[in-house]
């Protein structure tokens, strides 16, 4: 018996009648109204090159859905690009925009009772936003990977937006001229799509495939390539079938799927932002998982198999040619959960049967890995009772990474950058940047400019950074521990640090420790006065008042 579509209201009812009146006026007919009604979720924007090509993709998708027997309705969401919206409120709009996407989708798709979704997924926050909405609404959903941007060349060398981002920190420290940075920026981006390195966008595209929520073989992909367009068409046909099959996200996004995605991210030394996004997806779907602990466990046994810029020297283009996410999963196949269902209607094991690795130098075999790991490590201790995170990349080859230094505390990363430039930060210091967490900013402030200033000043190997703020998913130089939780605004131990305290980082032991006697910390805690919440209104005030801790993925839902 054919599935009854929830979008088909009872003949003669008020809901049926007013919808019919609206849709007849749109040019639809009686046959159209019987078809699966599919949201084409488009986060298009003229503000950022990341999204500039999505309207054309939406047209391709809508045409393909119609050809497959569905009825597409294009809907829009907020379209956040980190590089564009980061100036406002010290980057406070970046993370909360993810949750805004989820609610944009819910209000339209659930309100209209559409039958399924195909999401045009692009820049950093759209991928987790789409996945969070998919598992929250639990209607048939498939994501279309909309690709990375072609990068450029300057003075005979490769240059991309990651180089520009890092270069800005070098300007702060006085080691790069403003004119040189401007010239780099002029040559860095040569077309639409997301940042071309293994930053948050490409990492989350790989996550999407490893979770089973996009067609296998579609990540990463060059934006506007024939391959991208072909996958968009195939995905459009597949979403119609998924609706009739009643294949839903919660059938796919199981514990095994999250573990597979974690392994894939560790194997490519992907963005640390993937950790909180995966946790947020799990929370939205009531999947009882501690993603931070899963990362901790799997980081101890997952090797680093690829080194795409800025982790290593390979390009995202070479990674795609080598087989991309499918090739990484093929290498890891013995340790993956092959029974996990995917949007194809087949299992991971079935999908990987035909997968191949096309370049052993770019995606290495298990007997010739870049490192045994960890590419990403979760640190805990009396300074981070819940969690903190560090991306090591190729530096994970150095066994027993340790650092003990003297704290220099800042509540503003620009003041920290100024101290670096003036020479007040010296080898052996631990820069503590606090008050940048989800409630403190509010929205979670970035700490990357200060990190880049450390690198630009040549202190990357002699100075550490510890912060409750977020770090770049693209570039993190040196020993940098981010997202310390609980955050300072919640009275976390990071709020108790004084200038001159000793802080110890031990990667092998996965520990982050404030080397101060417990009695002294107790006295400081008793006398601690939390800072007055920063004055803000509107969306950021809503986020600040409702955001859950990092252990819950910093989502804004309340249970």
Told to judge if 472 belongs to the known catalytic residues of this protein, a careful annotator would answer: yes
Tokens (6 digits) for 332: 């890891």
Q: Which of 129, 126, 99, 131 is nearest to 546 (CA)?
A: 99
**Looking at beta carbons, which pairs linking 499-502 to residues 24 or more positions away fall under 8 Å?**
499/407, 499/408, 499/409, 500/406, 500/407, 501/406, 501/407, 502/404, 502/405, 502/406, 502/407
> Three-class SS of residue 37?
strand
Helix then strand then coil, in percent of the chain rounded to 5, is 45, 15, 40
Q: How far is CA 312 from CA 188, 269, 395, 396, in A?
A: 18, 10, 10, 12
468/261 Cα distance (integer angstroms): 25
- Helix ranges restricted to H, 6-123: 14-25, 54-67, 82-85, 94-105, 111-112
Q: Burial-class residue 190 by CB neighbours within 10 Å (0-12, 13-18, 19+).
A: middle
Exposed e or buried b per residue across 355-387, where buried means at least 16 C-beta atoms within 10 angstroms of its C-beta: bebeeeebbbeeeebbbebbbbbbbbbebbebb
219/326 Cα distance (integer angstroms): 8
Q: Token pair 């009604």 is at which residue? A: 37
Catalytic residue among 151, 472, 485, 504: 472
**Cβ atoms < 10 Å from Cβ of 496:** 22
Question: Is-contact 7 114, C-beta < 8 A?
Answer: yes
Tokens (6 digits) for 297: 């466990």
Pair type for strands 479-485 and 464-467 = parallel
Question: Is-contact 508 376, C-beta < 8 A?
Answer: no
Question: Is-contact 265 274, C-beta < 8 A?
Answer: yes
**Dihedrals phi, psi of 367, to nearest 5 degrees:** -95, 10
**Cβ atoms < 10 Å from Cβ of 112:** 14
Catalytic residues: 472
């Amino acid at each position: 018996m054919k599935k009854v579509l929830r979008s088909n209201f009872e003949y003669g009812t008020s809901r049926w009648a007013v919808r019919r009146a609206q849709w007849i006026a749109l040019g639809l007919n009686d046959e159209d109204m019987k078809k699966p009604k599919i949201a084409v979720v488009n986060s298009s924007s003229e503000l950022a090159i990341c999204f500039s090509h999505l309207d054309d993709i939406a047209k391709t998708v809508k045409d393909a859905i119609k050809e497959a027997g569905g009825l597409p309705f294009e809907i829009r969401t907020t379209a956040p690009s980190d590089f564009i919206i980061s100036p406002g409120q010290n980057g406070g709009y970046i993370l909360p925009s993810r949750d805004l996407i989820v609610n944009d989708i819910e209000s339209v798709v659930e309100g209209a009772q559409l039958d399924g979704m195909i999401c045009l997924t692009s820049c950093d926050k759209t991928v987790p936003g789409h996945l969070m909405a998919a598992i929250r609404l639990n209607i048939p959903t498939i994501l279309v990977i909309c690709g990375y941007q072609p990068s450029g060349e300057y003075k005979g060398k490769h240059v991309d937006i990651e180089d520009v981002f890092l270069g800005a920190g070098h300007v702060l420290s006085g080691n790069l001229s403003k004119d040189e940075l401007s010239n780099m920026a002029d040559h860095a981006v040569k077309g639409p799509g997301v940042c071309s390195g293994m930053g948050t966008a490409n990492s989350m595209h790989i996550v999407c495939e490893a979770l089973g929520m996009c067609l296998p073989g579609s990540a990463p992909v060059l934006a506007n390539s024939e391959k991208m367009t072909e996958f968009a068409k195939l995905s459009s046909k597949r979403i119609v079938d998924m609706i009739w099959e009643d294949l839903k996200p919660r059938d796919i996004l199981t514990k095994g799927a999250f573990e597979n995605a974690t392994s894939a991210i560790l194997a490519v030394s992907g963005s640390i932002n993937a950790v909180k996004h995966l946790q947020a997806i799990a929370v939205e779907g009531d999947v009882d998982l501690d993603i931070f602990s899963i990362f901790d466990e799997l980081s101890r046994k997952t090797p680093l198999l690829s080194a795409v810029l800025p982790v290593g020297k390979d390009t995202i283009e070479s990674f795609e040619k080598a087989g991309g996410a499918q090739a990484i999963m093929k290498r890891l196949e013995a340790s993956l959960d092959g029974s996990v269902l995917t949007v194809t209607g087949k299992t991971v094991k079935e999908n990987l049967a035909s997968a191949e690795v096309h370049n052993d130098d770019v995606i290495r075999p298990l007997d010739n890995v870049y490192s045994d790991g960890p590419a990403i490590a979760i640190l805990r201790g009396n300074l981070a009772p819940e969690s903190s995170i560090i991306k090591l990349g190729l530096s994970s080859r150095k066994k027993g990474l340790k650092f003990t230094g003297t704290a220099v505390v800042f509540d503003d990363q620009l003041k920290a950058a100024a101290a670096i430039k003036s020479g007040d930060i010296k080898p052996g210091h631990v820069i503590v940047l606090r008050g940048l967490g989800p409630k403190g900013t509010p929205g979670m402030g970035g700490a990357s400019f200060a990190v880049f200033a450390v690198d630009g000043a040549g202190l990357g190997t002699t100075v550490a950074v510890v912060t409750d703020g977020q770090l770049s998913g693209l570039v993190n130089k040196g020993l940098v521990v981010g997202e310390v939780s609980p955050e300072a605004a919640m009275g976390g131990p990071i709020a108790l640090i004084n200038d001159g305290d000793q802080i110890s980082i031990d990667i092998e032991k996965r520990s982050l420790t404030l080397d101060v006697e417990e009695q002294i910390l107790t006295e400081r805690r008793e006398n601690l006065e939390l800072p007055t919440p920063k004055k803000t209104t509107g969306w950021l005030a809503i986020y600040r008042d409702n955001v859950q801790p990092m252990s819950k993925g910093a989502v804004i839902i309340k249970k």
